Structure formats: C-alpha cells, structure tokens
C-alpha cells in the first residue's frame, strides 16, 4: 500500500518579513539611490544589472497583456493562495517574471504576492535548490494561505527557456552570450510562457 508523502509547509516567520511588490520595488529603488543593491555585492556590475532590471520591470508593467485563457484560469481559483518569491534586485530573470506575477495576483483577490530577498533567507532558499544544487532565482513557492502548505513551486525560468539555458551551458557558451540569448527569448515570448505556466499550476490545469 502506498503511503502518502507528508505535506510540506513553511514557517509563518517568513511571511512576517516578506514584502509586497510595491514595497520591494521601493526597497530596490532606495538602495540604488544610495549606490547599493540588494544582497552583499554592490559592485558596478551588480548596480548596473539592478538599474537595468528596474527599467525592465517598469516597462513590463506598462506593456504586459494578460492572455484571455490565462485570465480565465486565474479567476477560477477559489481558495486563498500566497505566492512567496525568493528574489534579488540584480536578478535579470526576476525582473522578467515579477511583473507578471504581480499582474496575475491583481486579477484575483485570493492570490497574495509576497517577496523575500534570497541572501537574507538562505535557509529557506536551500530547501528549494534548482536540481538540488543551485540557488537560482526567482523561486516561487505557492502556499495555501491558511495552512502554509506548499501547493506548487516555479522558477527560475519558464520551462522552454530553462531548456535553452541548459543547452547553451552544455555547449560552453560564453556567459555574456547566454545573457543575450535569454533576453532575446524573453523579448520574443512577451511573457506568454510565464503567464501560462503560472496559471496552469495555480489553477490545477497544467495543460493550459
């Protein structure tokens, strides 16, 4: 007889320190004005990435178009979910996905989006390593809001883009070229893959 696996939940302490989307953006903006970014690396490169990501998020907020089938699936959710995301201001993939998560959460009041800085929450991050090894972000941990039991996880990238990343890495592609290819993919996809994957997971309809 099969014994069901125990349900995985997280400590409510993490929710107590988590930020709203707007508070997260303000934190990143305030740090940049002070010549810093989130985390411990305040190098020129990381500051550059954070400035660039700030611009990308702002642009996506203005241009994102939610697909009709995605909206339908998000509106079908009838029990409260908390989307807890591990992220950092310098993370390019986070800048592409956080505005989408925010836009989807705004469609249904039962979805609450909260953000945590990865480097301040490594104990939690290490429970959600990519391939059991990498602290890749963003990492979305979706929870039942009442019990804090895990519903699904997502990240750090949409599945087809993650596959492209692995192929490029396997081919020993230079890091700068990988970044260019990933950005080109995001520009072409126009958030459609992120929308569909999140809506499918959140609504239980993974075939969306």
Query: Does residue 3 register a pLDDT over 90?
Result: no
Q: Which long-range contacts does 167-173 make (Cβ < 8 Å, 24+ apart)? A: none
Q: What is the pTM of this model?
A: 0.93
Q: How much is the pLDDT for 2?
A: 45
Q: How much is the pLDDT for 6?
A: 57
- 3-state SS class at 104: helix
C-alpha separations of 151 from 141, 154, 185 in Å = 8, 10, 28
Q: Which CATH superfamily is domain 12-203 in?
A: Glutaredoxin (3.40.30.10)
Name residues whose C-beta falls within 8 Å of residue 115's C-beta, 6 or more positions apart in sequence. Answer: 18, 19, 20, 21, 24, 84, 85, 87, 98
Q: How much is the pLDDT for 9?
A: 87
pLDDT digits over 146-155, tens only? 999 999 999 9
Q: Where are the domains of the chain?
A: 12-203
Q: How much is the pLDDT for 7?
A: 79
- 3-state SS class at 149: strand
Confidence band of 88 (pLDDT split at 50, 70, 90): very high
DSSP 8-class letter at 82: E
Please state the rounded mean pLDDT for residues 64-72: 98
């Amino acid at each position: 007889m099969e014994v069901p696996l125990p349900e995985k939940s997280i400590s409510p302490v993490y929710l107590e320190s988590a930020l709203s989307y707007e508070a997260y953006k303000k934190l990143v903006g305030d740090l940049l004005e002070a010549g810093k970014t989130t985390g411990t690396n305040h190098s020129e490169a990381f500051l550059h990435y954070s400035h660039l990501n700030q611009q990308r998020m702002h642009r996506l907020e203005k241009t994102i178009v939610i697909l009709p089938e995605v909206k339908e699936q998000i509106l079908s959710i009838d029990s409260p979910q908390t989307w807890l995301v591990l992220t950092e201001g310098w993370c390019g993939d986070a800048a592409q996905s956080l505005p989408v998560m925010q836009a989807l959460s705004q469609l249904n009041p039962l979805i609450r989006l909260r953000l945590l800085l990865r480097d301040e929450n490594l104990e939690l991050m290490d429970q959600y390593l990519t391939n059991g090894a990498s602290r890749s972000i963003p990492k979305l941990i979706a929870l039942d809001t009442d019990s804090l039991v895990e519903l699904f996880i997502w990240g750090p990238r949409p599945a087809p883009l993650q596959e492209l990343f692995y192929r490029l890495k396997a081919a020993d592609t230079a890091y700068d070229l990988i970044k260019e290819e990933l950005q080109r993919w995001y520009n072409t996809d126009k958030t459609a893959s992120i929308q569909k994957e999140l809506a499918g997971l959140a609504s239980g309809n993974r075939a969306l």
